[in-house]
């Protein structure tokens, strides 16, 4: 069964440079290969190769022959995050260029879903991670993508990703649907860097041995979330996204033993200053280098971390990131937290006003040039003699939203001898594994 997936690679450009290696068929009838530029002029997509120009007012497809691949000009990866960079990337499968409503171009890679998962795993994590972890990751990625496609078909009537009230910014990221394709190629959906990242033999095995396997809860396909490192306790769905309870995305201790949820500010303070014995507290750097991708390895401290900001830096960030002027910063205070200590609503008080910011990703975005590693943090205030805030020190735990599977914890479980079924059972309670392509197993 060939399940095609449409992945948005670049979106919103006036011009795209394309390189086709091998033979392609343009719009199903014109053989084409080599380099050319595509522009959108006067509402038309124009492909110019040598003397010839082909136009379309909606989309142009390039259907790949076997072993053909294509590359596009510089593609931005890690958009808005601290690992943002431009990369030349290569893709297998078909290329589709579409005109957006605003007249800009969008490049889509149409690819077999199983091939897509191989690339996602190689882009998300180090392909040398233990096999059982790669299998768990393959199933989580596959379940997420199928539930995403299913949701898209239902299509929400109202856009509920942003709720603004006077003095309050509550943003939820990751819920927005993509109009022209199923998923984007960046962290917003799942990292997909084409075939630039060649899948290792282990990744091939992990995806093939779990072919079609997904997680189900009751009769529904699981919207399996995962992030780099929970910090020791995983987070609830509603701290990052909509206010609803997802039974298989409950907060849990990332260990063999129970750890009570963090309820008070002093619980969180003790927590970020501790080094609990949990699956994702991997002290051995050699193990970490086998788990994380080369790009993520640049982030050295993530289980427990520290960031310092002067009050001027903080004021400038708030002004620039929120567009709200609260003046001289006086106070910064968590109003509500999830069970892993991740802040859901944060109060920022200044000489000219106050602002409440949420949810977890928006808090991370506002308090950093790129993003803080997580919103599970405490703030140590440095006051001058007059009691004015001079600087803050942010002490935090974990990396990412912390909901669902903790990737570093899961990889470490695999190092410890757990198999992929045990790993998925640990992070997604009450779920079962089902083969979507065949009958139930
Ligand atoms: Zn996306
Ligand atoms: Zn963890």
**52 alpha carbon – ligand 2 mean position (Å):** 56
d(CA 211, CA 270): 43
Q: Separation of 292 CA from ligand 2 center, angstroms?
A: 14
pLDDT at 330: 94
CA distance 249 to 380: 31
Distance 226 CA to ligand 2 centre (A): 10
Task: Give the closest ligand to the alpha carbon of residue 189.
Answer: 1
Statement: residue 363 has pLDDT above 60: yes
The pLDDT tens digits for 151-176 are: 776 655 444 445 566 788 888 876 66
236 contact partners, CB below 8 Å, separation of at least 6: 245, 249, 250, 251, 338, 339, 403
DSSP string, 347-405: EEEESS-EEEEESHHHHHHHTSSS--S-S-EEEEEEE-TTS-EEEEEEEEE-BS--BSE
Q: Is the pLDDT of residue 371 over 60?
A: yes
pLDDT of 79 > 60? The answer is: no
- The answer, yes or no, to whether residue 77 has pLDDT greater than 80, is no
Cα 243 to ligand 2 centre (Å): 23
**Hunting for tokens 């993508």 — which residue is that?**
145
Q: What is the pLDDT of residue 161?
A: 47
Q: Beta strand pairing status for 226-227 and 405-406? A: parallel
Q: For 372-393, how does the pLDDT look when each residue is reduced to its tens digit (9 = 90+)?
A: 999 999 999 999 998 899 999 9
* Ligand number, closest to the Cα atom of 6: 1
- Of 368, 359, 393, 250, which Cα lies nearest the Cα of 318? 368
Give the pairing of strands 354-358 and 168-171.
Answer: parallel
Q: Which ligand is nearest to the CA of 407?
A: 2
Higher-confidence residue of 217 and 120: namely 217
Ligand 2 centre from 246 Cα, in Å?
A: 19
The beta strands (E) that lie in 240-352 are given as 304-310, 329-337, 343-350
pLDDT, residue 138, reads 95
* Local confidence band at 82 (pLDDT 50, 70, 90 cut-offs): low
How many Å lie between the centroid of ligand 1 and the Cα of residue 267?
35
Residue 282: is its pLDDT beyond 60? yes
Residues, Cβ < 5 Å to ion ligand 2: 230, 254, 280, 406, 409
Asked if residue 339 has pLDDT above 80, the reply is: yes
Chain centroid, CA 388 distance in Å: 38
Give the number of whichever ligand sits closest to the CA of residue 8. 1
Mean pLDDT of 82-87: 60
Short-list 289, 266, 294, CA closest to 191: 294
Residue-level pLDDT at 164: 63
Q: How far does the centroid of ligand 1 lie from the alpha carbon of residue 153, in Å?
A: 16
Ligand 1 centre distance from Cα of residue 7 (Å): 9
The top-scoring range by mean pLDDT among 17-31, 193-207, 422-436 is 422-436
How much distance in Å is there from the Cα of 186 to the middle of ligand 1? Answer: 6
pLDDT category at 252 given cuts 50, 70, 90 is very high
Average pLDDT estimate for 47-53: 85
CA of 400 to the centre of ligand 2 (A): 10
What is the pLDDT confidence band of residue 333, given thresholds at 50, 70 and 90? very high
H/E run at residue 120 = helix 113-124
| Spacing, Cα 11 to ligand 1 middle (Å) | 11
* Phi-psi region at 320: left, alpha or beta (left = phi > 0; alpha = psi -120 to 50): alpha
pLDDT (tens digit, 9 = 90+) per residue, 95-139? 999 998 888 889 999 999 999 999 888 877 777 789 999 999 999
Region 208-228: what's the mean pLDDT?
Answer: 95
The whole-number pLDDT of residue 160 equals 44
- Weakest mean pLDDT among 24-38, 154-168, 423-437: 154-168
The closest ligand to the CA of 279 turns out to be: 2
From ligand 2's centre to the CA of 398, what distance in Å? 8
């Amino acid at each position: 069964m060939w399940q095609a997936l449409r992945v948005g690679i670049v979106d919103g450009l006036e011009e795209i440079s394309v390189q086709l290696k091998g033979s392609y068929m343009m719009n199903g009838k014109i053989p084409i290969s080599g380099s050319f530029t595509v522009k959108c002029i006067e509402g038309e997509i124009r492909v110019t190769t040598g003397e010839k120009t082909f136009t379309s007012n909606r989309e142009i497809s390039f259907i790949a022959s076997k072993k053909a691949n294509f590359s596009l000009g510089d593609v931005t990866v890690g958009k808005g995050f601290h690992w943002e960079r431009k990369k030349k990337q290569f893709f297998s499968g078909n290329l589709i260029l579409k005109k957006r409503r605003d007249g800009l171009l969008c490049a889509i890679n149409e690819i077999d879903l199983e091939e897509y998962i191989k690339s996602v795993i190689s882009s998300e994590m180090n392909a040398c991670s233990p096999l059982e972890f790669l299998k768990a990751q393959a199933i989580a990625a596959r379940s997420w993508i199928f539930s995403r496609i299913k949701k898209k078909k239902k299509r929400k009537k109202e856009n509920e990703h942003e709720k603004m009230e006077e003095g309050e910014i509550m943003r939820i990221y990751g819920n927005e649907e993509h109009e022209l394709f199923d998923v984007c190629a960046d962290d917003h959906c799942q990292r997909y860097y084409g075939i630039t990242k060649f899948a290792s033999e282990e990744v091939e095995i992990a995806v093939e041995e779990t072919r079609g396997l997904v997680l189900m809860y009751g009769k529904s396909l699981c919207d399996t979330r995962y992030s780099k490192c929970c910090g020791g306790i995983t987070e609830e769905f509603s701290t990052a996204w909509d206010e609803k309870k997802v039974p298989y995305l409950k907060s849990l201790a990332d260990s063999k033993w129970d750890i009570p949820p963090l309820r008070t500010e002093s619980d969180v303070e003790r927590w970020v200053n501790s080094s609990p014995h949990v699956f994702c507290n991997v002290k051995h750097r050699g193990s970490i280098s086998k788990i994380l991708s080369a790009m993520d390895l640049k982030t050295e401290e993530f289980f427990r971390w520290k960031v310092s900001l002067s009050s001027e830096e903080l004021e400038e960030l708030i002004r620039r990131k929120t567009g709200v002027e609260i003046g001289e910063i006086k106070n910064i205070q968590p109003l509500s937290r999830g069970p892993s200590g991740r802040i859901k609503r944060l109060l920022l008080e200044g000489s000219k006003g106050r602002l409440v910011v949420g949810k977890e990703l928006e808090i991370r975005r506002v308090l950093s040039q790129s993003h803080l590693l997580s919103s599970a943090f405490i703030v140590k205030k440095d006051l001058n003699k007059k009691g004015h805030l001079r600087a803050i020190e942010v002490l935090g735990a974990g990396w990412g939203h912390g909901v669902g599977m903790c990737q570093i914890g899961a990889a470490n479980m695999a190092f410890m001898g757990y198999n992929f079924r045990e790993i998925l059972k640990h992070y997604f309670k009450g779920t079962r594994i089902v083969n979507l392509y065949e009958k139930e197993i």
